[in-house]
Each structure stands twice: as structure tokens, then as C-alpha cells.
Structure 1
């Protein structure tokens, strides 16, 4: 082998920065260049708007799938700061959010929803869109700006007076990256936003499909009942279309609990039906944890402790009998376990499993105490 063939120095290293890196390796930022990546573009934009609602700065979010293949996301918050308007000290301005990775990193803590894969935010959607338009309504002024494949055509420009406040981002996924199929799935987005509404009672989000004439009515996702509504929804799906759903109790049991030991809260809802397999859905800071983890393990510990204590108190088990096993306790059980932590500890690159021994202990104690008290309560007339 020649010296030239084995030589390797700085001249062989290609440095990609900013939007160039995103367009060169899109899958690293949105997961894929297929359907999953398309939906992630929506989540990147909707995530900022959703967190405006959770922070109390906005009241609602509207998402629309437009007839020309674009997606429009609108919130009624104060509007993203615009540098030309002199919005000093109000966080990253519009151009920074749309062009600089991590300039608008998602807020942390229990009161935020992480919807971005890597916290890069709006600039990822901008870089991977053939066109993006931004409209900001702030301090009585309406600002607009347009981008093509992440490059601004003009600086933010005043387009006249504004009615109200808020931000609207519209984008069209780049067919050169995602191929000819750049249509988002209404069903996938609806499931995602419905789930967010179940897990965050203050969330108010609407989804409209404008692609079918005459069928573009908005669907609103808002759930004052929280996790209880989530369990009822899962049970309804469990019973459809052929298997009858027969709950052992008409009401869904649920509670919320804060524990300083784990620096967070837990919300639990559950109900047993007459038959079927166990279904326990776990979430950490509104993020699904399909691999379970400390919160789900703590939930199962607490349920087992409460059920077995009740069974022995009512002499359904003799002193010589072993405790009911997990397979028997979980038969027909539907449950949602949602923790919101200031400092969640995830295992693995995909954040699919939650860690933390303290979380398991706290959730187990909360479930044991609250479920046990409910089971001991005499039934109403």
C-alpha cells in the first residue's frame, strides 16, 4: 500500500456546520427521511408553541394540514421577538431560532414537553423545508419573513398592523429530501396531540385537515380529566369493534401526587375490566417510555401491595396463601402512569426507559397509599 493511500490528515476532514449539516444528514436530526421524519418536522414547530401554552404565555395552538402540502402552526402567545423591533433580553429572536441549531433549546424541567429529538428546534424544520414563512404579531405590529431551504430571502419586514399577538409558522417539506411523498398523516398527528392533551390538562390544541374539500372541520384536543380521560379512551379502544368492554367499576380511579424526594409529580389513573390483558402506558415529562422504567415498576409495586393488603384484610387470602402474582393482578387492567420530573434520568439514546431508584420508591408509596385508601372506602348507596 502506498504512502499516499494511508496518509490521513486534516485535509481529509469535512466540517459541516449549521443548516448545511442538517441538510447533509437529515436522518440524524429528524430520525428518518420517511414518514417519521415528516412528522418530526411538525413536532419541532409545534413543540415551541405547546411550551408557550404550558408556560402560561399562550392559550391555544392550531395546527393545519394545508391543501398544497404545507403545514401551518399558530399560537396566540406574545410572539417571537424580532431583532428589528428591538426586543432585547426576550430570548432568541426569530432569525436565530430559524437558522441556528440549539438557539431555541427546549426549556427543561417538569413544566415543559420535549418534542424535539435533540433540542435543535425550529431551524431543523426550516433547513429541511423547500419553503418556510414566519408571521409574528407583536406589540401591535405584524412582521413577516420567508425562507427557501433554510436561507432567508429578506430580513423580517413590517407588513402592517397586527390584530392580537402570536406566531404563525408555515412550511413545505422539501421533496428533494423526503421524496415525492411529503404528506403528513392526519391520524398520526391526531394521536400525538390527543396524547399531549391527556397528559397536560391546560393544553388546548386543534388539528385541521384542509386537504379534503368540505371535510376540513377542526378537531379540538382538550382534556380537563387528564389521565382518567386517557384510561377511558384506551378502554374504549380496547372494546372496539367486536370485544365488549365490561369494566368492573364504572369510574376510573386516579390521583396526582407531588413528592419532593423525586423532585416531581406523579399522575396515575387505572381501571380493571372483566377480561383482557394488562395495558400500562408510562410517560415521563409527557414523553412515552415504551420500555417502562422506574415509574412503571413503582406503579406495579404499589398496585400489588395495595391489592394484597386488601385481600388479606378481607380474608380473601389466608395467612398460608401466597400473595397474588402480577399476572393475576394485571389481568384486565388499563393504567396510565405519568411522572413529571425536574431532572429525569433516561436510559438509552432513545429515552425509552426511565431510571431513578427514588422515583420507583415514591411512585410505589403513592400508589399503595392512595389505591389502598380507595379500596378500603365503603361503596356508596
Structure 2
């Protein structure tokens, strides 16, 4: 390599910050410039609103696909603080929309994770051709407009407000995304899943893009993961026992929420979640679930002399045949393995889930002997 070709100094380095960095490399922030990226765009905004409900400061979230191609996310919380009005009590509107990693603490066990990167609404703002923020707080309605992440003017008080809350309406930048068409079914599936995993959630999804044919769905499941397993198990054939087994425990390490049911099928369907994020590769929580399950079933079988001292323990694989289960843990600091958060790594999750399952399932066996015999008997 010649001397001229090898010359390189600090003057050749370009530093990009804020919205400029996001717009230059959008795939680093939303995963892709296709449908997957659009999904993250919506949830960067929706996460903030959904967590308002889980934290008890809002009761409902409404997400709407508008006829003009935009998306509106509205909540009935207290309204994001507006710096120009002197509001305090959290990140202000302009901070939320221009700086990453602001808003509710995504490390807390009482908040959910929907996006793969948890950077907040600033990413959506930077990748939108237009974003309008409306805040109804303390009797006043405030509005601020943004274009490609830059504020066009300071927040403006436009008159009295009816109620309170925050509404963010944005349109993805067609100059960045290969498609700006949102797929209703993708969001319907994820919002339903979140409502199953968080029984306090109340969220609606509306599609106004087809003239005269708006469609909408509301997701609220007070029975939580118990209902989730009932729905998942509907395709698994006849149930071995009529009741969905469900239990929840708050421990220092995590909140453990589990539901399960065995069916006549041989297929195992176990779905794991950490802070409402699907762990498709499993992790310590699902390993703990299988350990606790095997401990409870084998203890029952030996106490009832269904297994002799010479018999080996029933394996987790055998016990898992025909099982449909949801294993949800909520941790103060979830530790994921891999950039896509596909596997949970917290060691404490294994122990607390295993203990919870062993204890509660063992008690269920004791209290329901007929159903217990039907479950354990099929493994022998």
C-alpha cells in the first residue's frame, strides 16, 4: 500500500449525533427499513403510553392507522410535562422526542418491553416526515410540530383542554422506508399478546385506511395468562384436565406468572416471556419451569407409589408431551443473551421459577386428586 493511500487523520472522521445519526443509519435503530422497521416505529411510541397504564397513571391506550398513512397513539394519562410551561415530574416533551433512552425505566419489572432496542419516541420522530405532539395537561392543550426530527416551533398553548393525556401522530418518511404500509394483523397479534401478559392493560387498535370499512379490536384480558393458555390450547385437542392450572408469585428476584394445561396431543407448546418480551430461544425462566414441573410430577408419582424405587424419574421431555404453557417473568433488570433478546440469562430466574412451579403444582395435585391422576397417569 502506498504512503498516500495510507494517510488517515481525525479530519476525515464525521461525527453524527441525535436525529442525524438515526436518519443516516436507520437500520441500527429500527432493525430494517421494511415492515419490521415500521413495527418498531409504532412501538417506540406505544411503549411509553402502555407503560403509563401499567404504572397506574393512565387507563387506556388507543392506536389508530389513519386514512392518510399516518399513525396516532393516544393515552388518557396526566400528559407529558411541557418544558415551556414549567411542568416537572419526568422527561419533558421536547426531551422525549429528541433524546434516546428517556421515559419510563424499561429496567423496572412493572414496565414492559415491546421494541428490540428501547430507545424511545425520539427514533420514531427522527424517521418521520412529520410528527405532531398534543399534550392535554392541567387544563391546557399544547401542540408542537416536528419535521424529520426537528422542531418547527416551540410547544404552543392552543386553548383549554378537555381531560388529560398525550397524543403523538406521525407519518413514516417515505424517503427512508421501502414500504410505509402497516400490516394490521401483525400489530393485532402483538397487542393481544401484551394484554394477555399484563392483565391491567386496556388497548384498542383501529384501522381507518379503507373508506367506509374501518375495523377495530380491543384487547383486555382480566384473567391474564390463564386466558392465554386457554386460547393457545384450543388447537391442541381434548384437554386431559378441564381446569387451566395458573399461579402467580412475587419474589425478590422476579414476578412469576405461569399457566399450563395438558392435552391429548403429543406436541409441546411452551412460550416464554421476560418483561413481556417473547424469548423465542427460551432461557433461564423456561429451564426453571421444566425443572419445577419435573420435580412436582415425580414427587407426586413416588408418593403415590406410581413409580417404584427402581424406576427412573420421568424426564422433562416425557412430561412435556401435550403440554401448553406460558411462562412469564418480570425482573428489575432483565439480562438478555444476543442482540435480538431471544434468550433470558438471569440465573435467579431459574431458581425462583423452579421453586414456584414445584410448590404450586404440587399443591394443585394434592387438592385435585382426580385431575392429578389423569395428568400423571398418562406419563406412566
TM over 0.5: yes
1:7-22 aligned within 5 A? 7-22=7-22
Which residue pairs with 2:277 in the alignment? 287
**Helix, strand or coil for the counterpart of 1:177?**
coil
Deviating 4+ runs (over 3 angstroms)? 103-107, 378-381
**Helix, strand or coil for the counterpart of 1:312?**
helix
Could you report, residue by residue, the CA deviation over 1:322-351 in whole angstroms, capped at 9, with x for unpaired residues? 111222211110000111111222222222
Structure 1's 290 and 372: CA in aligned 2 closer, same or farther, altered over 3 A?
Answer: same
Could you report, residue by residue, the CA deviation over 1:215-255 in whole angstroms, capped at 9, with x for unpaired residues? 3243111111111111111112x35xxxxx21111211000
User: 2-side partners of 1:359 and 1:65: how far apart?
Assistant: 38
User: 1-side partners of 2:158 and 2:24: how far apart?
Assistant: 34
Tell me, yes or no, if structure 1 residue 251 matches structure 2 residue 246.
Answer: no
Q: How well do the aligned residues superpose, as a CA RMSD in angstroms?
A: 1.6
User: 2-side partners of 1:293 and 1:122: how far apart?
Assistant: 29
TM-score, with length taken from structure 2: 0.94
1:198-209 aligned within 5 A? 198-209=196-207
Preserved contact between residue 110 and residue 342 of structure 1 (Cα < 8 Å): yes
User: 1-side partners of 2:180 and 2:360: how far apart?
Assistant: 48
1:378 to partner: Cα distance: 3.5
Structure 1's 9 and 105: CA in aligned 2 closer, same or farther, altered over 3 A?
Answer: farther
Which residue pairs with 1:30 in the alignment? 30
Which residue pairs with 2:230 in the alignment? 232
User: 2-side partners of 1:161 and 1:66: how far apart?
Assistant: 25
Structure 1's 304 and 86: CA in aligned 2 closer, same or farther, altered over 3 A?
Answer: same
Preserved contact between residue 105 and residue 121 of structure 1 (Cα < 8 Å): no
**Helix, strand or coil for the counterpart of 1:178?**
coil
Which residue pairs with 1:117 in the alignment? 116
Preserved contact between residue 130 and residue 148 of structure 2 (Cα < 8 Å): yes
Which residue pairs with 2:343 in the alignment? 353
2:180 aligned residue (179, 182, 196) = 182
Preserved contact between residue 106 and residue 114 of structure 1 (Cα < 8 Å): no
TM-score, with length taken from structure 1: 0.94
Could you report, residue by residue, the CA deviation over 1:262-293 in whole angstroms, capped at 9, with x for unpaired residues? 2x210110000001311111111111111111
Could you report, residue by residue, the CA deviation over 1:98-145 in whole angstroms, capped at 9, with x for unpaired residues? 112234464421011123433321110011111111111111111111
Unaligned runs of 5+ in 1: 240-244
Tell me, yes or no, if structure 1 residue 160 matches structure 2 residue 150.
Answer: no
Which residue pairs with 1:338 in the alignment? 328
User: 2-side partners of 1:43 and 1:188: how far apart?
Assistant: 12
1:364 aligned residue (340, 354, 379) = 354
Which residue pairs with 1:242 in the alignment? none
1:313 to partner: Cα distance: 2.1
Which residue pairs with 1:375 in the alignment? 365
1:301 aligned residue (274, 279, 291) = 291
Unaligned runs of 5+ in 2: 372-380
The number of equivalent residue pairs is: 371
Which residue pairs with 2:374 in the alignment? none
Preserved contact between residue 100 and residue 119 of structure 2 (Cα < 8 Å): yes
1:192 aligned residue (190, 193, 218) = 190
Preserved contact between residue 109 and residue 332 of structure 2 (Cα < 8 Å): yes
Preserved contact between residue 106 and residue 121 of structure 1 (Cα < 8 Å): no
Which residue pairs with 1:135 in the alignment? 134
